[in-house]
Amino acid sequence: MGSYVPGTREEQQEMLKAIGLDSFDQLFEKIPKEVRLEKLNLPEGRAELSVAEKMEEIAGKNRVFRHIFRGAGAYNHYIPAIVKSVVTKENFVTAYTPYQAEISQGILQSIFEYQTLICRLTGMDVSNASVYDGATAAAEAAAMCRDRKRTVICVSAAVQPAVLGTIRTYAFGSGAEVVVAPIKDGRTDAAALEGILDGRTACLYVQQPNYYGQLEDCEALAELAHGAGAKFIMGCNPIALGILKTPAECGADIAVGDGQPLGMPLAWGGPYLGFMAARESMMRRLPGRIVGETKDDRGNRAFVLTLQAREQHIRREKASSNICSNQALCALTAAVYLSAMGNEGLKEAAGQCYAKAHYLQAELAKAGLKPKYKRDFFHEFVTESEIHSSILLKWLEEKGILGGLPLSRSDILWCVTEKNTKAEMDELVSAVKEVSRLCD
């Protein structure tokens, strides 16, 4: 980095002006002020040991919770020790993405194995080498479905807000229209969809389970989309696929999702891993890279970049996507996790998530937090209460418990994984009962 020359202040101001901003502070205005670090207040010229001690002192102010009952897109799952043992090997940690691809047989094979496992998980025909995160995968999938006549992207209002925001950003850049389908009782309103889907609709995007934890009737929604001549995109929780029908079985044309639950810790530095898989008919529209298996001139097994749209590098103005890389280390992590867990391990983890979440919902109901939706769910659910959510969650924080995500003053989105024990859940319920008594 010795030869790196940063932009001048004048050049930086020109770049800010080009995107309609006046200062760097405006770039970060979406980040809540209470979690922003303005400066470290480190005196100049301190020794490395002294700086390390100061940084540890600052880090000690972080709050580490004993129990976690929050999800909403990032989940606290058990990660087998073998996963970290494999992916932290030096030859893997430094791997990014191969630019002289065919001489990087090791990384190509790791991507090929990842693609194979994603196809098995989703039931789809082909997977790409991964994208940046689940929201990017959803937006890229929507872009795959557009053509000159069909430019409308229909998205369920029950998807994760960050995903909807990313789809809207992509649509703004391409001139596409985003229509949000309403929800009823926590799920996509199929009756309302019938009046929305038409000859201009390129695709319907639905999340399974949805943002509120509810299980959608994806087979019926796929039929509605196909009946209007549109594609059906299914956003998936990969752990839930251990016990739910695959996207292929539900009739999806494209399956996407965030691979964070597949072996990636919560604090891995965020973007995690966006997985994408599709039916063979959509293969040539998949963005990014696809690694394939072949034979070399000696007849030995070898790996190559089978498909990659050259427009993404050369004729960028004609490209349908600007994705030309992949999350190689995260993809390897997902592949190692799935290999270590196996079919039965994944099924067991999903089953525990489902059973424990239903236990906690029933116990919280007894403590006064009533279920907002009556339909079935996977491992997240919403409760409503007369107690203000901020008061309840603050009380839990003081006991070392990270409660659910507040959706409003009365609604909280809770999450349970296989890591949450009965004792932890009972402790949470006991704390809820305490604050209920104090608020009476």
- In what helix (H) or strand (E) does residue 336 lie, and over which residues does it extend? helix 328-366
Residue 357's nearest CA partner among 237, 206, 229 is 237
- d(C-alpha 48, C-alpha 114), whole Å: 40
Report pTM. Answer: 0.90
User: Which residue reads 């098995």 in tokens?
Assistant: 120
Local confidence band at 1 (pLDDT 50, 70, 90 cut-offs) = very low
Query: Percent of the chain scored above 70 by pLDDT?
Result: 93
The pLDDT of residue 327 is: 85
- Tell me the mean pLDDT in the region 256-270: 89
- Tell me the mean pLDDT in the region 271-297: 90
Residue 65's nearest CA partner among 427, 330, 363 is 427
CATH 3.90.1150.10 fits 67-77+343-439, yes or no: yes
**349-399 pLDDT, tens digit each:** 999 999 999 999 999 999 999 999 988 999 999 999 999 999 999 999 999
Start-end ranges of CATH 3.40.640.10 in the chain? 81-337
CATH code for the domain defined by 81-337? 3.40.640.10
Range scoring the smallest mean pLDDT among 229-243, 277-291, 315-329: 315-329
How far, in Å, are 24, 205, 238, 327, 418 from residue 171 at the CA level? Answer: 25, 14, 26, 23, 37
Start-end ranges of CATH 3.90.1150.10 in the chain? 67-77+343-439
Look over the chain and give the mean of its residue pLDDT values, rounded to a whole number: 91
